[in-house]
A and B are shown apart, each in its own frame.
Chain A
Amino acid sequence: MSTFIDLTGAAAQSATYGADEQQRMGFFTDTTLCIGCKACEVACKEWNELPEDGYEFTGWSYDNTRELNGNTWRHVTFVEQFSGRSAGTGRWLMESDVCKHCTHAGCLDVCPTGAIMRSEFGTVVIQQDVCNGCGYCIVGCPFGVIGLKEAEGTTGKCTLCYDRLKAGEEPACAKACPTDSIQFGAVDELRERAEKRLEAVQGRFDGAQLYGTDTGDGVGGTGSMFLLLDKPEVYGLPPDPIVPTKDLPQMWRAAGVGAALLVAACVAAAVRA
């Protein structure tokens, strides 16, 4: 089983590029620096030429985008924590969410067409010219990141600006971020930076914790890491994500059992007659 897992990891997948393989790149989104301006959302839409997602007032604090989906690849969450707190202790948390570019990416594993690929940068990219919109990746993602692009009939999510990376540019969101809450870089280096940052802000911010930096977690760590100020679920993030294919062998075995039972039932039904 471990061999199987190893083959589906980012390192093995990027290694398929041979000499073209690049350092694995990712994001570190430090919410202690986020001012909720949504520049990332707009810069992303501008670069990736994504349409608006509807003009609807949600009342979810200042979040009118609701979620990451096919046409929104950066999404700023707003969490107000005032009720039941004394004056001066209320908090307004903001976090720019994005595709996690998992080490073990559920969407990539389950994509039936090869539209989703691991790039030479270790990122996970949906090829729009290949995707047939089967929608399997939407449920294959343990973070609920992917959505359908209605107009195109394909699915969409952050590509970590694959085209920009190829041209030596940083992703549009990280470039635009006014306060450097979104940091772009090599994943290993970002992970280190995140650990250091957590150390530095302990005591300064209540509830500071890292998310996605643990390479042993259910997705093998993520390419997009976060410094959060509360439990992940508060920001709409899964507290314990697991790549669904973790248990794929078990599932196929179960299917084998089911098929065997079916054959047995058939034989029993036929033989007794």
Chain B
Amino acid sequence: MGTSFGRGGATTFQQDLQNADCLLIMGSNMAENHPVGFQWVMEARERGATIIHVDPRFTRTSAVADIHVPIRPGSDIAFLGGIINYVLQNERDFREYVVNYTNASVLIGEEYEDTENLEGLFSGWVKDRNGYTFNSWQYDGTNVHGASGQRESQESLAKYQGLNPQEMSKLEAGMPPKIDRTLKHPRCVYQILKRHFARYTPDMVARTCGISEEDFTKVAEALCENSGRERTSAMCYAVAWTHHTTGVQIIRSAAILQLLLGNIGRPGGGIQALRGHSSIQGSTDIPTLFNLLPGYLNMPQAQKFGPLAKYIEDEGGKTGYWGNMDTYITSLLKAWYGDHATADNDFCFALLPRLTGDHSAYRSILGMQDGAVKGYFAVGENLAVGSANSSLHRKAMANLDWLVVRDFSETETASFWYDSPEIESGDLKTEAIGTEVFFMPAASHTEKNGSYTNTQRLLQWHHKAVDPQGDARSELWFYYHLGKRIREKLGDDTTEPYADAIKFLTWDYHTEGPLDEPSADDVLREISGWDAEGKALNGYDKLKADGSTRCGCWIYCGVYKDEQNQAANRKPRAEQNWVAAEWGWAWPANRHLLYNRASADPDGKPWSERKKYVWWDEEKSQWAGYDTPDFEKTKRPDYVPPDGARREAAIAGTHPFIMQDDGLGWLFVPNGIVDGPLPTHYEPSESPIGNPVYPQQSNPGAQRFPREWNPSNPSPSESHGDDFPFILTTYRLTEHHTSGAMTRTVPQLSELQPEMFCEVSPELAKLRGLEHGRWATIVTTRTAIEARVMVTGRLRPLQLNGKTLHTVGVPYHWGRKGLVTGDSANDLLPIVLDPNVHIQEDKASTCNILPGRRPRGRAFHEFMEKVRSDAGAEVTP
């Protein structure tokens, strides 16, 4: 979403879903995984909205939806592309919105060539590097900077592959040089889109997704009918869009569609990303991610080593809010290195470690397998159950020197060395594992102060209710005291590499209580920042590049506004409108519905009375409305940037996407996505069929790691291609949470879903002799697991080009610890990743299924050897 709109967060907030006239839930089983958020969907339904659920399985969401479309796992882009095509062919787009607020009218350079001409690839493909160069995707006459919004999702791989070492030059004055507002020019984005998606006809969609044309048309029509001036449609997605090798491009498809329909920045519209963990949004905003610094600033690259000024030039834009990069990074460095950071020493910029490539989670695990990674912290994460190919993870952990596990109870990650399928089968032996393991009991959220950032970018403070017992401690305590200890141990020893980075660090939060718990409030204040006088900053527009301000995360600047912890705001809902601006604090600047300038027409008037939200108040000469305007408050709608305008001044009064260089919503992404400027249907990495849309089978840019312990199932074209004839898809249940570490330890939840099971259609059950309630073994080249069989009509075989395709559904909550135990679905999956964000493909791979339980002990080892050798899937190291 960052690439399309400018920020990597949900564009709307959950309460606003009630205002939608049509809701497309796709890539999400919202009723099951976000039941309380789903109340707003039900509100919308009861107000007359059409609820559409597109999902391979008939779930509890489908049960209450008006329309359920059971598409084949991994065919999302084909489906959405079909709707895009439907909109374009029938000219159902919201033309006034599209012309003014998106880059539809911008001309793309002549060098650009589409997948239509290149058999499923775009121009710029470099075969031996497995990646694209972006040069040919640029706006005609200039280059736009791709550094928009969610920078985690961009550039990384291309950069590490060295394909685009030179940053593109920056857009001048925020206006693309060549545009055709009639949208007729063959090289304008609108026409390119039209040609690119022309292939996605209803018939093609039906054949690719395994659905009927009628179902497809019903959905397309519902969305079109419920979009425009008077009506808006919203979309909700979750990890069933991201858990694909084409994850980012699926979301891009949704963004394109919502821009064409004019649904972004408007009430009842938008795209709601539904995130699965209490602070998963927060953990990317303030990232425990390798490639980012707080506020989506890129970690510096070794390849681009240079002074701070160079970093600012490389990473910032000239126009739009990224033009203020200098103030963001300087304030961050000041927050971290305090008085040690001065203009003279480049604010200690050199003390930041540099990246040399992809250091993402799966890379680290492979590094562990290879022996390069020796120490590991697993903090509230249970990789032995929760990660794809968890078997590889467990085996890799046996190569560590030391492992620290912080959790509430002993997880499968903590116990891998004495209790795991590998120990059971003899592949690992306890006495032969040299890993030193520290299990550190963690404090729960009731035992500490702190803030979570929820799925709608809202920071909410939780107050400590009781002290943690025994050795249980918060992460705040653990990292603060670990840092202090390390500092003490190093003392004045200057032989330690880069000792200054540790010594200069501001690390002096005040502690409280008998446990010496560092003050979370203190930390939040540092995140929000203060000025030269030490007074809390009220917003990121106050940040300075001269070192006079400190701010730990610029997008959170203002969360400590007026010296008040704004995240702890709790004005009851009854006392405010549905936006609830005084409940918690939403980044950025307490804006709840992003790009809300688009809720008004170019002149600043509401598109319609029904969809009024933010508008230009001529009398007061400022933007007014129900929410904080996501626009400069006093910038007139008719503002035209003067020549040479920089930063936000370069954004026109009619351009709502203020984080983008040009202030426009990007239908076509000229820079920033490594696997193409437009979404394209590729088959999942493991698929039982050939790509019906293009000759190119799967995402050419996907990250694959063919190696020992990570074999791929043979595809249909290879020998033994029929060994794994079924589609495997994994998911969550309402009653459990991810790896089960927080729910299989709870009696009242364990009883609700006590056993690992798999869901199959009656047809597949008959085909394979599976009996309801009995056992089945699910097999891939990675491993085999057993599960109770649930034969259900909620799964249907798909008909594709005369071929019948069956899907096996497995929840992934079980492991060997806890009150209820079972085999782990993630053991089955390969490590194969989306090239943009390094997320694995969980939702669509292949498998086989057999009746009965799996073999035990050594017999299991031999069983798997045979499976692999039969499939020719022995990958030697």
- Chain A residues near B (Cβ < 8 Å): 32-39, 41-42, 45-46, 51-57, 59, 61-62, 64-65, 80-83, 85, 87-88, 90-94, 178-180
Contact = CB atoms under 8 A, between A and B. Distances in A.
Contacts of A51: 747
B794 A92 contact: yes
Q: Which has the most chain A C-beta neighbours within 10 Å: B36, B751, B754?
A: B751
Interface string B21-52: 00000000001100110110010000000000
A144 B819 CA distance: 29
A35 B753 contact: no
Given A59-B772, A92-B794, A65 B752 contact: yes
Contacts of A42: 748-749, 752
Nearest to A176: B36
Q: Which has the most chain B C-beta neighbours within 10 Å: A46, A62, A94?
A: A62
A37 B748 contact: no
A35 B773 CA distance: 23
Contacts of A85: 793
B751 A35 contact: no
Interface in B221-250: none
A179 B31 CA distance: 9
A91 B734 contact: no
A179 B39 contact: yes
Interface stretch (B56-64, B160-168, B427-435, B604-612): B56-64
A92 B39 contact: no
A92 B60 contact: yes
Nearest to A179: B42
B277 to A, nearest CB: 18
B63 A57 contact: no
B467 interface: no
Contact of A87 (B32, B755, B796, B819): B796
A101 B293 CA distance: 58
A179 B792 contact: no
A118 to B, nearest CB: 29
Nearest to A180: B39
B754 A55 contact: yes
Contacts of B792: 61, 80, 82
Nearest to B773: A59
Interface in B746-799: 747-755, 757, 762, 772-773, 788, 790, 792-794, 796
Contacts of A82: 58, 792-794
Contacts of B748: 41-42, 45-46, 52
B215 interface: yes
B113 interface: no
B735 interface: yes
Contacts of B753: 62, 64
A33 to B, nearest CB: 6
Contacts of A37: 31-32, 35, 60, 734
A59 B788 CA distance: 8
Give 6 closest A-B pairs by Cβ, nearest first: A82-B793, A57-B755, A59-B773, A55-B754, A52-B747, A92-B63
A57 to B, nearest CB: 4
B845 to A, nearest CB: 24
8 contacts: A39-B35, A55-B819, A57-B773, A57-B788, A62-B60, A64-B752, A81-B793, A82-B794
Nearest to A72: B751
Contacts of B68: 88
A155 to B, nearest CB: 20
B524 interface: no
A55 B790 CA distance: 17
Contacts of A59: 772-773, 788, 790
Contacts of A56: 754
A3 B802 CA distance: 71
B18 to A, nearest CB: 12
B820 interface: yes
Given A179-B35, A180-B39, 14 more contacts: A33-B42, A34-B64, A35-B32, A35-B38, A36-B60, A37-B60, A42-B749, A55-B820, A61-B792, A65-B752, A82-B794, A85-B793, A92-B794, A178-B39
Interface string B417-454: 00000000000000000000000000000000000000
Contacts of B788: 57, 59
Nearest to A55: B754
Contacts of B819: 55
A52 B750 contact: yes
Given A52-B747, A52-B748, A38 B754 contact: no
Contact of B64 (A33, A39, A57): A33
A55 B754 CA distance: 5
Nearest to B41: A179
Contact of B752 (A33, A41, A87): A41
B793 A83 contact: yes
A55 B750 contact: yes
A65 B751 contact: yes
A224 B517 CA distance: 49
B153 to A, nearest CB: 31
Given A37-B60, A57-B757, A88 B215 contact: yes
Interface string B807-848: 000000000000110000000000000000000000000000
Contacts of B752: 38, 41-42, 64-65
Given A82-B794, A83-B793, A92-B794, A35 B60 contact: yes
Given A55-B754, A82-B794, A94 B734 contact: no
B58 A92 contact: yes
Given A35-B31, A83-B762, A88-B68, A57 B754 contact: yes
Given A64-B752, A88-B215, A178-B36, A38 B794 contact: no
B309 to A, nearest CB: 52
A90 B747 CA distance: 33
A65 B62 CA distance: 22
A83 B765 CA distance: 14
A61 to B, nearest CB: 7
A7 B63 CA distance: 44
Contacts of B63: 35-36, 91-94
B793 A64 contact: no
A54 B31 contact: no
Q: Which has the most chain B C-beta neighbours within 10 Å: A61, A80, A81, A179?
A: A179
A217 B32 CA distance: 36
Nearest to B63: A92
A92 B735 CA distance: 17
Q: Which has the most chain A C-beta neighbours within 10 Å: B63, B788, B790?
A: B63
Given A80-B793, A88-B215, A178 B38 contact: yes
Q: Which has the most chain B C-beta neighbours within 10 Å: A65, A92, A93?
A: A92
Interface in B123-138: none
B713 to A, nearest CB: 28
A85 B796 CA distance: 12
A184 to B, nearest CB: 16
